[in-house]
Amino acid sequence: MELVELKAGFAKMTIFPTPHMLNTHGTVHGGIIFSLADYAFAAASNSYGKTAVGVTNTIHYMSPALADHQLTAIAEEVKFSLVSDPYLMMTYAQQWRRWFIVKMKISSNKRKM
C-alpha cells in the first residue's frame, strides 16, 4: 500500500493486488479491500496531529475487484467536530469504477490543551 496524498481530513492510498491477495473466486479478498480503506481512514483521521481511532465502520461491496487493477482508496472527512467525526471512504479501480463504499466514524479529542 502506498500513501499518495495526505492533507487535513483527506488521504489517498493505492495498492496493486497480487495473486496471493485473491480469494477462491479469483477476485481481491474483502480483507485486502477493507485494509486499504482502513489505512486511508487512519491517515486522514490522524492528519490533524491528534490521536484518532475508529469506533464504527460499515462496508458495502459494489462489485468484485480484479487482481490486474490498481485500487485507489480515498478517505474524506464529512464533518469536522471536536469529539467524533464521520468519514466517507470510496475506493476505485481502473477508470474510476467504484468498487465499494465504507462509512467510518472516529473518536478523538481535537481540542487544544
> Residue 96's Cα: distance from chain center in Å?
15
pLDDT of 4 over the 90 cut: yes
Q: Which of the four pLDDT bands, split at 50, 70 and 90, describes residue 18?
A: very high
Label residue 31 left, alpha or beta by phi (over 0 means left) and psi (-120 to 50 means alpha): alpha
Domain residues of the chain, as ranges?
A: 2-108
Domain boundaries 2-108, corresponding CATH code? 3.10.129.10
Strands of 52-61's sheet, edge to edge?
2-7, 10-15, 71-77, 84-92, 98-108, 52-61
pLDDT at residue number 104: 62
pLDDT digits (tens, 9 = 90+) for 47-72: 988 888 777 777 777 778 887 888 88
Tell me the three cell numbers of residue 63. Answer: 462489485
Task: Give the Cα separation of 58 and 75 in Å (integer).
Answer: 14
| Higher-confidence position of 76 and 32 | 32
Q: In sequence order, what are the beta bridge partners of 7?
A: 10
Which of these ranges, 41-50, 54-63, 103-112, has the smallest mean pLDDT? 103-112
pTM of the model: 0.78
Average pLDDT for 14-43: 91
Helix (H, G, I), strand (E, B) or coil at 83: coil
Q: In sequence order, what are the beta bridge partners of 75?
A: 11, 89
Mean pLDDT, the chain, integer: 77
